[in-house]
Structure 1
Amino acid sequence: MPVKIPDDLPAAEILESENIFIMSETRAKNQDIRPMKVLILNLMPNKIETETQLLRLLGNTPLQVDVDLLRIHDKSSKHTSIEHMNNFYRDFDDIRHKNYDGLMITGAPLGLLPFEEVSYWAHICDIIDWSQKHVTSVLFLCWAAHAALYHLYGLHRQVLDKKRSGVYLHQRTLQHYPLLRGFDDEFFAPHSRHAEMDLNELKAHSELNVLTESKDAGAYMVLSTDNRNLFVMGHPEYQKVTLDEEYKRDVLEGIDPEQPQNYYRDNDPTQEPIARWYGHGSLLISNWLNYYVYQLTPYDLNKISDITPSEHDKA
């Protein structure tokens, strides 16, 4: 949360130069406060596991967040009961007329399938287009990040020879962004995917900024220049055992996967995994929700479409 200080306090200039977020008394007095409205489009097969992971991260912020869960279709799910889906998830037609402060779109196990061959591709494109006018900020995770970069900017992913799985060291490519406040110079983050975006193409695109990257795993956090769309190529929401469960599942299915890198103690899959991304995963979501949602969204959600790129830049 921001630190509120008197308008003319000399420390203000120093704190701002150190990338510490402060709020003047004048701005604080004029702020209207209400719960943040966040929509989660859950594309993962195990809905309950993924929704729990994301809600855990959202729950780490002191902001009050009201969440709606969205499904891409009303077909039965192999890993989630129809009762759960009908009780807790909404269809897009039910919320199409609404506005939200934030939208999170999860990854999906579709890494080897061309986007146009995905059964709900037209539907996901419809939701992405809708979000650009009805949501203050959108967070795309893993497959959803690739899909959105392709749909919005025409950028193509590259299918990898081997699945990218493990916990990788990252560096900040750009320094002074609110999204990176509190980040160490180097930090770890998990990846689990079959494809990768070309780092040079992302850096060359005039409407995108690569904020963090890994020499082994490529781009991790990419932000649109209007700050409306955040693309995260990995899985900050993963729990300690998630990569282990994926690896052992693939072994049982005879896929012959490579073991997740930098994950097991002594790189030995018979030993326990080491979780070393929780802090930065939580910080990523907290910074996104604070600086790119809470600080920018209008009190009246009906005015979201009135937000201009210059207002987004104030983050």
Structure 2
Amino acid sequence: MPLVAHSALPTFDRLRQEGQTVLSEDYAFHQDIRELHIGFLNMMPDAAMEATERQFFRLVGASNHIAQFHIHPFTLDTLPRGEKAQAHIARHYDTFANLQEQGLDALIITGANPSQARLEDEPFWDGLCEVAAWAQQNVTSTLCSCLASHALVQHLWGIRRRPLGFKRWGVYDHVVTSPAHPLVNDLNTRFDVPHSRFNQVDRADLESVGVQVLAESAEGGVHLAVSPDLFRMVFMQGHPEYDQISLLKEYRRETQRWFSGVRDDYPPFPENYLRPKAKAILSEYRLELTAAKRLGQPLPDFPEKLLLTMVNNTWRDTAKVFYSNWIGKVYQITNNDRRKPFMDWVNPDDPLGLRGQG
């Protein structure tokens, strides 16, 4: 399913440079291939906004080539933005009002940077709930990432996330728990997913309201789950969209926060991610950083380039299969009219016809 560069969004050029197929709008117009229009609600902070675009767009574009993808990024006006991000949004992003009028076949909602103890006090809360309410009536399926999942299971069913007391941070082994569900068809029965969060929603709480868990980890908890209708809302607590070095960049940021006094303790290594040699290099860097902080010297350079060959991506292939499954099912049941969520024969309360099975 090739992406279509229907705007001048820089992410399209970056993906072309990586070797991804991205069609020009003129070329796409002359292909006799169906379009799928996917909304992309980007709630990430300014520093991560464009990287998040690339991560999700990359997975969508790697799906089966049975349709052309038009991804429509938008955000919420209530999120604080700097001047550069505001300019990027003004030039390249759509508005929610416009997308409501035109319609969407599917929707992806990113996580966000938490700033409040209670999710309902976050600046994104009201806007996110409004988008979700519209999507439930008008969009075939909505995919929610991490904090968006936490917020929406609270909004929809009153389930509050549980503080862990530490950061669940690293790459964790998962198993498929509902192998008959088409979203996990052809996934490895064991696979890795990165996690990065201080809170979680537990299996028992989700199952108490009819949410079905599709994949989970003994260490990392629930990763993938679906709403009681088994497709309209898809929830993830992990980050299969992460790049190979996303956790390394997070670790670098946390060492900088320690150096500047923002955090009191030195950050631990992300679990199950770094090779022994990489840990040794970073332990040496910690000594260098500690000495510089004690002596009032500038922040030493982080050895990122040296470490690039010492971290592995063990989750990307499984993520591609999952996204292909999700988009393939959207393609099968969404209406040709973007303003209608389903073909006429589809039951909105059981869109994949699964509830009477098993």
Q: Which interval holds the TM-score relative to the shorter structure?
A: 0.7 to 0.9
Cα distance in structure 2, aligned partners of 1:180 and 1:312: 16
What's 1:48 paired with?
50
What's 2:294 paired with?
none
What's 1:57 paired with?
59
TM superposition shift of 1:204:
3.0
Percentage of pairs with the same residue? 33
Output one character per residue of 1:77-97: Cα deviation in whole Å (capped at 9) or x when no partner.
349533211111122223233
Structure 1 position 309 matched with structure 2 position 348: yes
What's 2:135 paired with?
131
Cα distance in structure 2, aligned partners of 1:150 and 1:247: 29
What's 1:38 paired with?
38
What's 1:11 paired with?
none
What's 2:337 paired with?
300
Task: Please say if residues 98 and 134 of structure 1, whose CA atoms lie closer than 8 Å, have aligned partners that are also in contact.
Answer: no
Matches within 5 A, 1:60-209: 60-61=62-63, 62=65, 63-73=67-77, 77-78=81-82, 80-110=84-114, 113-206=117-210, 208-209=211-212
Aligned letter for 1:287?
N
Unaligned stretches of 5+ residues in structure 1: 2-31
Aligned letter for 2:334?
T
What's 2:290 paired with?
none
Aligned letter for 2:317?
G
C-alpha RMSD of the superposition: 2.1
Cα distance in structure 2, aligned partners of 1:118 and 1:237: 24
Q: Cα gap change, 1:173/1:70 in structure 2, threshold over 3 Å: closer, same or farther?
A: same
Q: Residue 187 of structure 2 aligns to a residue in which SS?
A: coil
What's 2:271 paired with?
261
Structure 1 position 230 matched with structure 2 position 224: no
Q: Cα gap change, 1:126/1:230 in structure 2, threshold over 3 Å: closer, same or farther?
A: same
TM-score normalized by structure 2? Answer: 0.74
Task: Please say if residues 165 and 191 of structure 1, whose CA atoms lie closer than 8 Å, have aligned partners that are also in contact.
Answer: yes
Unaligned stretches of 5+ residues in structure 2: 2-31, 282-306
Q: Residue 298 of structure 1 aligns to a residue in which SS?
A: coil
Cα distance in structure 2, aligned partners of 1:192 and 1:259: 12
Number of residue equivalences: 283
TM superposition shift of 1:76:
6.0
TM-score normalized by structure 1? Answer: 0.84
Of residues 234, 240, 249 in structure 1, which corresponds to 2:253? 249
Task: Please say if residues 100 and 135 of structure 1, whose CA atoms lie closer than 8 Å, have aligned partners that are also in contact.
Answer: yes
Cα distance in structure 1, aligned partners of 2:312 and 2:157: 36
Output one character per residue of 1:258-312: Cα deviation in whole Å (capped at 9) or x when no partner.
2111111138433522110010111111111112x11110112233276533551
Q: Cα gap change, 1:80/1:134 in structure 2, threshold over 3 Å: closer, same or farther?
A: farther
Aligned letter for 2:271?
Q
For structure 1, which segment, 133-142 or 272-281, has the greater mean C-alpha deviation from structure 2 after superposition? 272-281
Cα distance in structure 1, aligned partners of 2:83 and 2:60: 23
TM superposition shift of 1:138:
0.1
Cα distance in structure 2, aligned partners of 1:267 and 1:205: 46
